[in-house]
Chain A
């Protein structure tokens, strides 16, 4: 138990830390409702004109669709593959298990920029197009280490004898997974789905190399846009990114609960 006085200070410190990390985002969100034609804080008046402007720009809408499609596909593929990899790594012993474990986690330590460049060269060498598929491929590789971690943590939390019991009761491997393992690691797969989605949706470095005029993710579109323009349109687009993430987190809180997602309960 921490004494009353220091506890108050700790509380204040925590609030300040939160404010500090959220404040810039808040500024952007407030800015997006400006009535001015240029970026200035605080905004001289409020309006939705930059959201209307966003709706009028087909390239931003297209990019938003690309981002959502890529993030959804990434989330599903990464979680499916990550779950399979986690089961192989945690429930089976085989030659090369350690090596494979290292390889699966390697993308974590690779700078996105270098990884994007490498993948771009790979695509060019084999004459493959830069499109939604190549973007998804890159994002799956980037997010899979997280998927494996989330599912592994959930797997470590269940007694392996529970799976053995299911087998002795007549369930083959597939039915054991479906009726026993999967229900018990559900929070891990949920965490994997959500974070793969968010990571993919926010990814810039690798996407910068892999985006093409016909398939450009929203963060890359913003990046390209502010290179030439500096008006409040970027704030409304950025705010939409923030809203998406907030909605995603709100859905988790309502369904699984954030604490459970991280195994805190």
Chain B
């Protein structure tokens, strides 16, 4: 078990920057998810941690020790790949025993440790099967057991659930979390799926273009995104873009859709005259037949209504702008094609400056 530190890590390829000056501390036993769209540098970062590629500059420390020049086979880091990457010519038992044999563990001990690893991932009876005789979920469990049996100091998971179907993915998510907690291993998880990241990780690291946009818990990132990229990438966000016309204490006034004045909470992020966007979550918005006093109101046309069981997903159009609403079941009843008013209290939403 060990902490992981990335110090100003940069990776350049011929003429592209894959990772640009990334610094991150992962505490001992912590579960961190690197989250971002494809090409954001998350997988490159993971491969540098594993030692498959080396940083152009900067340093990676595991348990306080620099990994510079340390080849992958001497790092004692467990890796689980999206493609499972099991050894097709070896049985489940030999797949899991591989790392132990490379460490010259006595063969008497190997059987016991493999059995315990199989038990951990609940695959006890399948040890003599070959990987191709296993389902995707079973293969992923074997890959996890194989990575954990060597008692690595850090566990790296590279999109481990992306090849599984939706139900299995949810189940595996919690199992991975469960196992990680039980053995308390420092874990770095790479994914492009925000729900997955939010469900398993202690902290999320949102990345784009090789840099970190925000680090925080799921709640911090969802409720107070650091910038518009994070606001749009995590969860669904309706962005009301406009110019800031006035700031009064903790409240700012914004002109959206050319003429409509709305009020928004001000956290010192914008200045008068600046272009800004108010990010509103679909569940922050409400619908009514007429304007509500004391609220921000926008006259709209209802474009679509989707009944989701637990909630109502409604799409409305305000001038040129499309908004998405998530209404509770007992809410105001609307049908597509009707006119209505979208409203929300001035205290909700996050006002962020437009990126230049």
* Size class of the contact patch on chain B: 20 to 34
Bound: A179/B101 CA distance, A:
11
Q: Nearest residue in B to A179 (C-beta to C-beta)? A: B98
Is the CB–CB distance between B85 and A159 below 8 Å? yes
- Nearest 9 A/B pairs, CB to CB: A169-B99, A170-B102, A161-B85, A167-B72, A168-B79, A165-B85, A161-B81, A183-B89, A162-B85
Is the CB–CB distance between A168 and B75 below 8 Å? yes
| 11 contacting pairs across A/B (C-beta < 8 A) | A162-B88, A164-B81, A166-B87, A166-B98, A167-B72, A168-B51, A168-B72, A168-B77, A168-B147, A169-B98, A184-B89
Q: Using a CB–CB distance below 8 Å, which chain B residues touch chain A? A: 50-52, 71-79, 81, 83, 85-89, 98-99, 102-103, 143, 146-147, 150
Is the CB–CB distance between A169 and B50 below 8 Å? no
A7: interface (CB < 8 Å):
no
Q: Nearest residue in B to A183 (C-beta to C-beta)? A: B89
B45 to chain A, nearest CB (A): 15
* Residues of the B chain whose Cβ atoms lie less than 8 Å from the Cβ of A169: 73, 78, 98-99, 102, 146-147, 150
* Residues of the B chain whose Cβ atoms lie less than 8 Å from the Cβ of A161: 81, 83, 85
Bound: A175/B72 CA distance, A:
13
Bound: A119/B143 CA distance, A:
52
Q: Using a CB–CB distance below 8 Å, which chain A residues touch chain B? A: 159, 161-162, 164-172, 175-176, 179-180, 183-184
* Residues of the B chain whose Cβ atoms lie less than 8 Å from the Cβ of A184: 88-89
A95 to chain B, nearest CB (A): 11
Bound: A36/B54 CA distance, A:
75
* Residues of the B chain whose Cβ atoms lie less than 8 Å from the Cβ of A159: 83, 85
B207 to chain A, nearest CB (A): 21
* Residues of the B chain whose Cβ atoms lie less than 8 Å from the Cβ of A176: 73
Bound: A159/B79 CA distance, A:
15
Bound: A172/B51 CA distance, A:
12
Is the CB–CB distance between B50 and A171 below 8 Å? no
B101 to chain A, nearest CB (A): 8
Q: Which of A162, A171, A183 contacts B86 (CB under 8 A)?
A: A162
Q: Nearest residue in B to A171 (C-beta to C-beta)? A: B102
Bound: A191/B147 CA distance, A:
34
Given contacts A164-B72, A164-B81, A175-B102, contact A170 B150 (CB under 8 A): yes
Given contacts A164-B50, A179-B98, contact A171 B73 (CB under 8 A): yes
